[in-house]
């Protein structure tokens, strides 16, 4: 009797996993995988990822955000990986999740974190498996460096800005439909050796429809980096990412956070405070002390001017994805 019960339980569990797999676009994903040869995309089981993270123990958490929670894991072949439990926000995302992740896995760019595969046999939060980058994030580098005694030169900051712009520019031009990173911020910019940048955390809704230059979506982005135009129209475009990059560039110049609720009213929002300072020729007041006098003020002013252009309220007045990358070269 007990054997029959266990058999029934295993069969029921398998049926549930299959239903979840199909719910998140697993069948569509399998069709795509069959049509493409030489893919290095892996469909992981839930059990594999549970084992890799000690059943998603809190000690393995690398970070939490609006798009999900990321854990460090170790696969059976001893590879260290980052495993993200995603939060989906629309029915369309659920149906096409697997297919979209397959497209993202084919990205091969030195400034983009490699996507190894995914797990779809879960009810609510499909999981993505990325390469693991051990040196932390840009957020940690610029906002925790004072406690660590780390010095980050102006030249290094320009290098980081250039590479942080290169990756989204590549993604926007590489794929059809374009791939739009919907949450560019320092916490999603990983730092390798020699300050090489790796962009991470592509949300589940990053592919624009082929018949639209922009599309309506509900994006779980971070306050302080959100395009004001998107807040009015709910339309996400490549220029939305340009706005976010402008905020990141200001953080690199000032080492101040995008939002600081402990600051006085006029300094809570970094972009508004910095734009006012630039317009009133008070750039020196907001610059990070480390870079004052390190470089020609003209170079710093050029970087601040690029940030100002990226933060234009009207998206058509912002530079393009490619231009913002080339300007930092």
For 75-104, the DSSP string reads -TT--EEEEEEE---SHHHHHHHHHHHHHH
The catalytic residue among 54, 182, 183, 201 is 183
d(CA 146, CA 179): 35
Bridge partners of 86, per DSSP, are: 68
Residue 190: strand, helix, or coil: strand
For tokens 């913002």, the residue is 324
Query: End-to-end CA distance of the chain, in Å?
Result: 71
Question: What does each C-alpha distance from 79 to 72, 104, 192, 303 come to in angstroms?
Answer: 11, 20, 17, 39
- Does the annotation flag 114 for ligand binding? no
- Judge whether 183 counts as a catalytic residue: yes
C-alpha to C-alpha distance for 153 and 150, rounded to whole angstroms: 10
Q: Give the Cα separation of 285 and 292 in Å (integer).
A: 10
Q: Which residues contact 305 (CB under 8 A, 6 or more apart)?
A: 278
**Count of CB atoms situated within 10 Å of the CB of 55:** 9
Q: Which residues are catalytic?
A: 183
């Amino acid at each position: 009797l007990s054997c029959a019960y266990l058999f029934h339980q295993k069969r029921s569990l398998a049926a549930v996993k299959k239903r979840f797999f199909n719910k998140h676009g697993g069948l569509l994903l399998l069709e795509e995988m069959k049509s493409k040869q030489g893919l290095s995309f892996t469909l992981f089981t839930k059990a594999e990822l549970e084992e890799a993270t000690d059943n998603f123990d809190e000690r393995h958490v690398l970070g939490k955000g609006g798009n999900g929670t990321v854990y460090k894991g170790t696969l059976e072949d001893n590879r260290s990986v980052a495993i993200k439990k995603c939060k989906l926000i629309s029915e369309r995302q659920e149906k096409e999740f697997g297919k979209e992740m397959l497209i993202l896995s084919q990205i091969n760019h030195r400034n983009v974190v490699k996507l190894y595969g995914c797990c779809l046999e879960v009810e609510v939060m499909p999981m993505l498996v990325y390469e693991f980058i051990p040196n932390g994030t840009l957020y940690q580098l610029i906002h925790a460096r004072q406690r660590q005694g780390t010095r980050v030169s102006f030249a290094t900051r320009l290098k980081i800005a250039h590479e942080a712009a290169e990756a989204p520019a590549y993604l926007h031009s590489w794929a059809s439909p374009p791939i739009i990173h919907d949450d560019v911020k320092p916490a999603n910019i990983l730092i390798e050796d020699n300050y090489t940048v790796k962009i991470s955390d592509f949300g589940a809704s990053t592919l624009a429809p082929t018949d639209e230059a922009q599309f309506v979506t509900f994006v779980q982005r971070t306050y302080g980096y959100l395009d004001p135009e998107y807040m009015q129209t709910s339309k996400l475009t490549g220029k939305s990412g340009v706005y976010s990059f402008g905020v990141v560039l200001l953080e690199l110049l000032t080492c101040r956070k995008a939002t600081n609720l402990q600051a006085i009213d006029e300094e809570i929002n970094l972009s508004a405070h910095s734009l006012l300072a630039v317009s009133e020729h008070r750039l020196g007041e907001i610059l990070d002390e480390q870079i004052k006098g390190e470089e020609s003020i003209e170079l710093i002013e050029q970087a601040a001017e690029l940030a100002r252009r990226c933060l234009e309220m009207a998206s058509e007045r912002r530079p393009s994805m490619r231009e913002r990358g080339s300007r930092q070269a």
